[in-house]
Amino acid sequence: MSIRKYIAYLKTIETGSITHAAAQLGYTQSAISRMIADLEDAWGVKLLTRNRSGIEISSEGLVLLPKLQAICKDYEDLNYAISEIHGLSSGSIRVGAFSSISSGWLPQMIKSFHEIYPHIDFQLINGEYNQIASWLRRGLVDCGFLNLPVSNDLEASFLLQDTLVAILPENHPLANDPCYPIAQLSNEDFINLKEEQDHEITKFLDHLQQKPNIRYEVSNDYAILSMVECGLGISVVHELMLYPNRYHIVAKSFDIPQVRDIGIAVKRDVPPSTITKLFVEHAKQWARKMGMA
């Protein structure tokens, strides 16, 4: 019974809400509250604090969190081993990913993983690098895709090198050129991803001596691809966004290459579950097979 209480507490921390934890675990709200209260009474500590925005983990809870996560991962490993004996290989994994990898590369990789482990469920959570790193530290995701290098409290494996590319309409005058000159950006109608949603692209544009002529600002990567396809202008995206390329556009590397290294990371001080280890290893093998690593 204790493991259920541990899982209930961790799910409450993950969702930031007793109500949401109850809904995801199939309990009533009062049952979740009772389980957490039982733990607090048994251990003589306060596990949650309440504020205007809801609930959050207490300082005592932070101390106990790594141990509770390790216990629940061991319990998950045990259930996985039992399911393997019965030929089921079932379980679940939570993966943090940023938009350019989750939109194209990741679904293909998950598909190949499911060919080996068809009964493992995925929960994909999209965010920016700093969010994914925070989720890993707090145990809200089991693994996550990040740009390299990562901080010392995380452990990452290199997967692939990604490149910033200029995307052009198919009838653009430079569509057949070997590369796109960075200096040319200031002479084009530019479609920009607003609100600085992509750190690398924002940094790249900010360091240009001559700024692009921004004619349109949008909040969605796919809107950019569609607008370029329609000939409304050009833009800059990560090459990962174009895998597979479903749009009638042309992608060109810059005359001065703009690259980033992508890896898959786990929290360093918490042993990953069996399923997480399987997925991380599969991601590395898949990247090598696709010629990305």
21-33 pLDDT per residue, tens: 888 888 899 999 9
Q: How many CB atoms lie within 10 A of CB 281?
A: 12
Residue bearing the bigger pLDDT, 100 or 146: 146
Residue 87, pLDDT > 80, answer no
- Given a cut of 70, is residue 115 above it in pLDDT? yes
Could you say which of 3.40.50.300, 3.40.190.10, 3.40.50.360, 3.40.50.1820 is the CATH number of the domain covering 161-257? 3.40.190.10
Render 161-176 in DSSP notation, one character per residue: EEEEEEEEETT-TTTT
Q: Is the peptide bond before 118 cis (omega within 30 degrees of 0)?
A: no
pLDDT in tens, 232-261: 999 999 998 888 778 999 999 999 999 999
Whether residue 77 contacts residue 86, with contact meaning beta carbons closer than 8 Å, is answered with no
The residue extents of the domains of the chain are 1-65, 161-257
**Mean pLDDT score, 275-287:** 93
Residue 254 is given by DSSP the state B
Angle between helices 2-15 and 59-85 (to 10 degrees): 120
The pLDDT confidence band at residue 289, using thresholds 50, 70 and 90, is confident
What value does the mean pLDDT take over residues 111-125? 90
**DSSP β-ladder status, 91-97 and 143-147:** parallel
Cβ(183)–Cβ(193) below 8 Å: no
- Whether 1-65 shares its CATH topology with 161-257 is answered no
Q: How confident is the model at residue 199 (pLDDT cuts 50, 70, 90)?
A: confident
Confidence of residue 293 (pLDDT cuts 50, 70, 90): low
Instruction: Output the pLDDT for position 122.
Output: 95
Q: Given a cut of 70, is residue 262 above it in pLDDT?
A: yes
What is the predicted pLDDT for the residue at 183? 93
Residue 207 has pLDDT above 80, yes or no: yes
User: What mean pLDDT value characterizes the chain?
Assistant: 89
Query: Any idea which residue has 């786990």 for tokens?
Result: 266
Helix H, strand E, coil C: the string for 137-148 is HHCCCCEEEEEC
Count of H helices and E strands in the chain?
A: 10, 11
Q: Cα–Cα distance between 72 and 94 in angstroms, integer?
A: 14
Q: Which CATH class is domain 1-65?
A: mainly alpha
Mean of pLDDT values over 51-68 = 88
Q: Is the pLDDT of residue 128 over 70?
A: yes
Alpha-carbon gap, residue 240 to 263, rounded angstroms? 13
pTM over 0.75: no
pLDDT in the model for residue 292? 61
pLDDT of residue 237: 93
Q: What is the pLDDT of residue 248?
A: 93
Percent of the chain with pLDDT over 90: 61
Whose structure tokens read 């009964």? 119
Q: Is the pLDDT of residue 42 over 90?
A: yes
Distance CA 252, CA 180 (A): 6
